[in-house]
Amino acid sequence: MSEPLAPQYDPSHIEADLYRWWMNQRLFEASGRGKQRYVIMMPPPNVTANLHMGHGLNNTVQDVLVRFERMRGRDTLWLPGTDHAGIATQNVVERLLAKEGKTRFDLGREAFVERVWEYVRQTGATILDQLKAIGSSCDWSRTYFTLDEDLSRAVREVFVRLYEKDLVYRGHYLINWCPRCLTALSNEEAEKEEVDGHLWYLKYPLETGGFITVATTRPETMLGDTGVAVHPDDPRYRDLVGRQVLLPLTDRAIPIIADAAIDPEFGTGAVKLTPAHDPLDFELGRRHKLASIDIFTPEARMAETVPDRFQGLDRAEARKRVVAELQAAGLLEKVENHRHAVAHCYRCETIVEPRLSDQWFVRMEPLAKQALAAYRTGKVRFIPERRGDEYAQWMENIRDWCISRQLWWGHRIPVWYCGNSSCGRIVASRTDLARCPGCGGSVEQDPDVLDTWFSSWLVPFSSLGWPDKTGDLRRYYPGNTLVTAPEILFFWVARMIMSGLEFMGEVPFDTVYLHGTVRDTQHRKMSKSLGNGIDPLEVVERYGADALRYTVVAGMAVGTDLILDPSDLESSFAAGRNFANKLWNAGRFILGNLDGPTRPLAGDYRNVVPKSALGLADRWIIARCDATIRTATEAYERYRLNDAANAIYHFIWSDLADWYIEQIKPRLYGDVPGKDVAQAVVAATFETALRMLHPVMPFITEALWQRLPGRGGASISVAPWPGPDQRASDPAALAQFGLVQELVGALRSIRADYGIQPGLSIRAFITDAPLAGARIFDAERPTIMRLAKLSGLELGNLPEGAGATAVLSDGSAVFVPLGDAIDLDKECGRLKSEHSRLVQQIQSQNGKLANEQFVARAPAEVVDKERRKLDDWREQADVLSQKLERLGCK
């Protein structure tokens, strides 16, 4: 570790080596450091997923929090895991099979599931390795998978308990069905999306002659109509209630019924009823005892229940055909454009079909009641707060959760049906059953599996060994923070709160931090299908994990989205890389100026130098460091990670590198008084800065920190978080050095303004300084002269002649004689010719704007622009004439 550092920071090897070293040290394993616990639960990624920016963001935030708390000395556990992602994973493997020309039915259930396992074993570790590449400090020894034996046992236990409490039931209801995945979906999995559709007005002939017109967005479902409904008070239809309608294209007569659920204002006020394919119609069908006719196959093609000529058509074709036939028969009154919400499968985007079938449900109301109360009593809070309202709203309008899925990949429903028709028992069991416990007859297990979320909602305790009362469970439940994207607030977070309360009696975490979404510059969500994604691993390779993390953390305020440009990684990530390089070089400089490793730089300059030996700049940087500690600590605590990152960035780049290091250079270079002080203070503040930055940029801070003398092979990741220090607070130093900075800035401005050669030293004079100011300038003369490149600084008197002036905030006036700094005649000439050029421009511009034709005909913006140009030039001319005057040009 003592080889000379390269002038450019290269993360590529450093990061991988450090991660390996951290793992060997087992630094991230929960091991009981500290009394206070900090537990954070990773939202389990899909086991076969590849890391995308959403994961990158989510895990960076979690890692920052957990590293911060680990340094604060808490007993931290960041629990990682993956989920089996039933539909998604099964789909992937089915696609692979399709390439071989096979379906899952060709293999059979057992062989297919084995095939999925094989696939998972093959790809399953990748996502976790990718998380390691971005620095995630999880306790990998506790990694779980939702299909692990332990977690599967918990799933069964929960199912059976809920069944015994009558909170799980089997019902014949209309559910969301994905005709591509061939499975039921929960309401949350059927995502509503607004689409431009049509409203068709269909004329249904009345038995007694005449027509009743109904409006529908789905004309093809008319083949399954079993009634027409109107509002009971609707005068248009009062006489028709109870009469029959002859359903076109079929030979059926269906009744007209009255129900208050019908909105007379919409469409014609008459609605066709298809109980098998629409939620409202299903309700009304039950209420009025209408038949229901399922007109679709599972693939959403027309079934045998419709006339021959329609059979086998898919939904879209059937719609065309039905509309065409109705039109031919003169039964299509009109078609209107109509925008409405259509549900899509959240996995494959296919339009969801409402379908009548037997499914298992969780009765949610009792669970939601507790979960809502926990929120209302402040047992769980949301960041940002407004997300809590969404949570509450969902809880208040909770609907039962359809948990059965017609898949093979997942936890099979632990229910057995007795085959003996005289017994017919249905048993939910913790253990596999071979015979019916009632009659001893043969039993058959339910073929369906459970929704993946039915295992995910248990992980805060199932991953810790529940239902066994393990030590882990006692120690790490409940946890503290849950960090996730708002998309899965209902899928996962809300349900975890419910399960935690139901099975553990306590909410699983007290804070839910919902971060934003990663989007491209057009504010579209990054997604594979749009091809606008950024591969975090490519970023790691090109810029380093620290750069990735810095960009993510610094670029995102609480509750806002993270906008990145997929076509220009440089613009997004260069800032992080540059910062890393800056830090690296500051470290390189400091390490190279510490006179070898013998000096005891244990982080506290007080061990080395007495306070009385500190100069103004030393006191200033110590005070700034302390202020930054306070800001950063508070910001981390309040989840304002961007504030913390920016405060530390500013401290390192502006305060430490731009000012303090520049200030101490003369002291470091020679063997002069104050050298030891400068060394001690710069080492101490730099070391503190590394610790503050570590949660955000763990790799480079570790690499530099270990090179500081006296580290003895320890890791910064378990070094103590820097605490604020009363003795470091020094408002006077902040103000006084601020004045020095102001003076140096003013002198530099003058130099740039008047084109003084950068290499040329100049003289400067200060008058009207208040006593205090004068004393500071006098004492800090070497610093000022060096940083502003002066050959002399005089207080009190003003020389004769032309010069430039500036006034500081304390009233001091700065004067720089220009006669000896620049060739006055030449400068005057330059300024004069520039001035006359401007005057000419202004005249011709005046002419242009006086041209009535131009003003009248040109677009308003153009005229405005020209006016602004004129104003600009006038202003520039003013500045020039002032300058000319000050220089005494004639």
The verdict on 840 binding RNA (CB under 7 A) reads: no
Verify binding: residue 390, RNA, rule CB under 7 A.
Answer: yes
Q: Are 536 and 508 in contact (CB under 8 A)?
A: no
Residue 105 tokens, joined: 């039915």
Position 218 contacts RNA (CB under 7 A): yes
- Count of residues interacting with RNA (CB under 7 A): 80
480-519: contacts with RNA (CB under 7 A): 486-487, 490
Closest CB to RNA among 126 and 585?
585
Q: Is 882 in the site for RNA (CB under 7 A)?
A: no
CA 40 – CA 477 distance, rounded (Å): 10
To 5 degrees, how large is the angle CA 840–CA 841–CA 843? 65
List 115, 412, 619, 640, residue binding RNA (CB under 7 A)? 640
Query: Counting contacts by CB under 7 A, is residue 344 touching RNA?
Result: no
Site for RNA in 281-300 (CB under 7 A): 283
How far apart are the C-alpha atoms of 56 and 293, rounded to whole Å? Answer: 48
Binding range to RNA, per CB under 7 A, among 88-96, 409-417, 655-663, 821-829:
655-663
DSSP per residue over 180-244, as a string? TTTEEE-TTTEEEEEEEEEEEEEEEEBTTSSEEEEEES-GGGGGG--EEEE-TT-TTTGGGTT-E
Who's near 328: CB < 8 A, 6+ residues apart? none
Backbone dihedral angles phi then psi of residue 717, each to the nearest 5 degrees? -70, -15
How near is the Cβ of 176 to RNA at its closest, in Å? 11
Q: Which stretch binds RNA (CB under 7 A): 468-476, 660-668, 724-732, 796-804?
A: 660-668
- Does residue 386 interact with RNA by CB under 7 A? yes
Contact 580, 549 (CB under 8 A): no
The region of 139-147, 391-399, 766-774, 775-783 touching RNA under the rule CB under 7 A is 391-399
Contacting RNA within 514-543 (CB under 7 A): 521, 523
Q: Smaller CB distance to RNA: residue 67 or 231?
A: 231
Query: Which of positions 162-201 make contact with RNA (CB under 7 A)?
Result: 187-188, 192, 194, 199
For 172, 413, 440, 442, the CA distances from 421, given in Å and listed in that order, are 20, 21, 12, 11
Residues 6+ apart with CB under 8 A from 326: 202, 219, 248, 249, 332
What is the H or E stretch that residue 455 is in?
helix 453-456
Q: How far is the CB of 216 from RNA (least distance, A)?
A: 4
517, 481 Cβ separation under 8 angstroms: no
Q: Check residue 217 for interaction with RNA (CB under 7 A).
A: yes
Strand, helix or coil for residue 482: strand
Per CB under 7 A, which of residues 541..560 are in contact with RNA?
555, 557-558, 560
| x/- letters, 94..123, toward RNA (CB under 7 A) | ------------------------------
Query: Which range of residues in 2-10, 155-163, 446-454, 846-854 is near RNA by CB under 7 A?
Result: 2-10
Helices (H), 189-342: 279-287, 315-328
On whether the CB atoms of residues 884 and 831 are closer than 8 A, the answer is: yes
- Between CA 870 and CA 844 the distance in angstroms is 10
- Give the residue from 14, 403, 385 showing the smallest Cα distance to 170: 403
Q: Binder to RNA among 210, 440, 447, 592 (CB under 7 A)?
A: 592
Do 719 and 609 contact (CB within 8 A), yes or no? Answer: no
Query: Which of 196, 265, 308, 800 is the binder for RNA (CB under 7 A)?
Result: 265
Interaction of residue 646 with RNA, rule CB under 7 A? yes
Nearest-approach distance from CB 542 to RNA, in angstroms? 10
Q: Give whole-number Cα distances, 90 to 35, 112, 132, 183, 527, in Å.
A: 44, 9, 26, 11, 20
Q: What are phi and psi of 225, to 5 degrees?
A: -65, 140
The residue (of 452 and 517) whose beta carbon lies closer to RNA is 517
Q: Which is nearer to RNA, 94 or 278 (CB)?
A: 278
Q: Rounded to an integer, what distance in angstroms lies between the CA atom of residue 206 and that of residue 227?
A: 12
- Other beta carbons less than 10 A from residue 530's beta carbon: 12
Shortest reach from residue 455's CB to RNA, in Å: 21
Question: Could you tell me which stretch among 24-32, 306-314, 321-329, 333-341 binds RNA (CB under 7 A)?
Answer: 333-341
In the complex, the smallest distance separating the C-beta of residue 61 from RNA, rounded to whole angstroms, is 15
- Verify binding: residue 602, RNA, rule CB under 7 A: no
Give min distance, CB of 131 to RNA, in A: 25
Q: Where are the beta strands (DSSP E) in 231-365?
A: 244-246, 253-258, 270-273, 332-345, 353-362
Residues 565-584: x/- map of binding to RNA (CB under 7 A)? ------x--xx-xx-xxx--
For residue 301, what are its two tokens?
């093609």
The reply on whether position 745 binds RNA by CB under 7 A is yes
x/- contact string, 397-436, with RNA (CB under 7 A)? x-x-------------------------------------
Residue 665 binding RNA, by CB under 7 A: yes
